[in-house]
Amino acid sequence: MTKLRIDCHVHTCYSHDSQFSLDSLVETCRAKGMDGICVTDHNTIAGAAALAKHAPFPVVVGEEILTTAGEIIGYFLSREVPGGLSPQATVAAVKDQGGLVAIPHPFDRLRRSALKTEALLEIAANVDIIEIYNSRIILNADNQKARQFAKKYDKAVTVGSDCHSVREMGYSFVSMDQFNGPSEFMHQLQAGELCCRPIPLHLHVLRLQSLLGG
């Protein structure tokens, strides 16, 4: 069976800090050999839902939700989860619609939006997935800490580029068998192979310049 290369953390122009159009995203996925993506825009599923309707590859409708204690990702969503809820309420809102709860970049010391460790411990029993490698993380020890946490709490794992632009796509992905729905996704994810590469520092600089209008 042919494996799918899935980037599990992708942003589009529906995120406030990304200019990645949906058409450009499709072209970039093809150019970089991605077979599917999880779209995880900030506090909205609009871009993911629109892309899922016409993309020539699997698109998991996700959302990176800013809670009162940091960010949580919901995968396989049919309804948008509002930002600003507590972590517990956010988890409940994802679970109520049959979605999966994932924690992105949980120990990134340079990211103010990372979920606070105390909050993570409080919801750990209801977390399905830990993102153990995020290509945007500069301090690799923070990725290693996420890996150790996932192992300690026996959680499924993902990796993702956390791309916000064409240049950043595909640095990290999971190579996994085809899936249909959250249950199969979890099963295939746990048998998947991980490709983990950091986004080069000069691309961080280019993105910052773009955001600042430079």
Which residue intervals of 34-139 are DSSP H helices? Answer: 46-54, 87-96, 117-123
CB 189 within 8 A of CB 156: yes
Tally of structural domains, the chain = 1
- The bridge status of strand 156-160 relative to strand 129-134 is parallel
Q: How far apart are the first and last CA of the chain?
A: 46
User: For residues 134 and 162, is the Cβ–Cβ distance under 8 A?
Assistant: yes
Q: What is the pLDDT of residue 92?
A: 99
Residues 69 and 93: beta-carbon distance below 8 Å? no
Provide the domain limits for residue 146: 4-211
Q: Tell me, what CATH number does 164's domain have?
A: 3.20.20.140
pTM for the whole thing?
Answer: 0.94
**pLDDT recorded at residue 210:** 62
Quote the pLDDT of residue 201: 78
Query: Distance between CA 55 and CA 49 in Å, rounded?
Result: 10
Pair 123, 137: CB distance under 8 Å: no
The β-bridge relationship of strands 36-42 and 173-176 is unpaired
pLDDT of residue 203: 78
Mean pLDDT by groups of 10 residues along the chain of 214 residues: 93 94 97 98 99 97 99 99 99 99 98 98 99 97 99 98 93 97 97 96 66 56
What is the reported pLDDT for 205? 64
For residue 208, the model assigns a pLDDT of: 63
Look at residues 91, 85, 86 and name the one whose alpha carbon lies nearest to residue 103: 91
